[in-house]
């Protein structure tokens, strides 16, 4: 079953369009940016909020960046595996990914993937859930379940994720 953060924080009711931006220093390719765009779309399909990329990092509601080790928010990253990413509850908008992970995009994971492979879209869909105000789910199939096997892909929202976000928005 889905959960929320303490006090059930959410983005303000009047705000139907949220903007997101990437840390300019990361200089992400179109391929990487499209993974995030797809991940946002999965949520916007089932809730009354839309997500638009903007180039203004400081002005964006949701600020996405890849960082290594200690990056100044008291939650240092730890190299390969263990912590992969984190996002803070609304309306913080901070969404950080561990730059030391072996991020995979559209991998098939059938053969030859390193043991440390982490699917970027799977993690993005999960972290966007946190950015929007969802906590963890006890249902193993849910996107918001707090564990995923490395080298696997899990990007489809389940009913549990959908009912949770629709209770919030």
Q: Residues annotated in the binding site, as ranges?
A: 61, 71, 73, 78-79, 86, 96, 98, 101, 126, 130, 136, 144
Q: Which member of 18, 123, 128, 132 binds ligand TQI (CB under 6 A)? A: 123
Interactions with ligand TQI, residue window 60-119 (CB under 6 A): 83-86
Residue whose beta carbon is closest to ligand TQI: 148
Catalytic residue among 75, 127, 141, 156: 127
Helices 120-132 and 159-168 pack at an angle, to 10 degrees, of 30
Residue with smaller CB distance to ligand TQI, 82 or 111: 82
- Whether residue 25 lies in the annotated active site: no
Gap between the Cα atoms of 46 and 83, Å rounded: 28
**Partner that binds at residue 147, options Zn ion, ligand TQI, none, CB closer than 5 to 8 Å by kind:** ligand TQI
Please name which of 155, 131, 132, 135 lies closest in space to residue 146, comparing C-alpha atoms: 135
Residue that has been written with the tokens 């996107």 in this structure: 143
Where along the sequence are the contacts to ligand TQI (CB under 6 A)? Answer: 83-86, 122-123, 126-127, 130, 135, 146-148
């Amino acid at each position: 079953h889905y959960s929320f953060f303490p006090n059930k924080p959410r983005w303000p009711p009047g705000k139907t369009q949220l903007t997101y931006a990437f840390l300019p220093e990361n200089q992400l390719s179109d391929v990487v940016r499209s993974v995030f765009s797809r991940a946002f779309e999965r949520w916007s399909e089932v809730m009354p909020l839309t997500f638009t990329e903007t180039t203004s990092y400081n002005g964006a509601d949701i600020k996405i960046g890849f960082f290594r080790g200690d990056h100044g928010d008291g939650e240092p990253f730890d190299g390969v595996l263990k912590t992969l990413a984190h996002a803070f509850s609304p309306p913080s908008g901070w969404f950080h990914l561990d730059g030391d992970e072996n991020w995979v995009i559209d991998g098939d994971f059938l053969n030859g993937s390193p043991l440390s492979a982490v699917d970027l879209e799977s993690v993005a869909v999960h972290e966007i859930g946190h950015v929007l105000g969802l906590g963890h789910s006890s249902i193993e199939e849910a996107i918001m379940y707090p564990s995923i096997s490395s080298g696997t892909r899990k990007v489809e929202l389940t009913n549990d994720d959908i009912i949770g976000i629709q209770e919030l928005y």
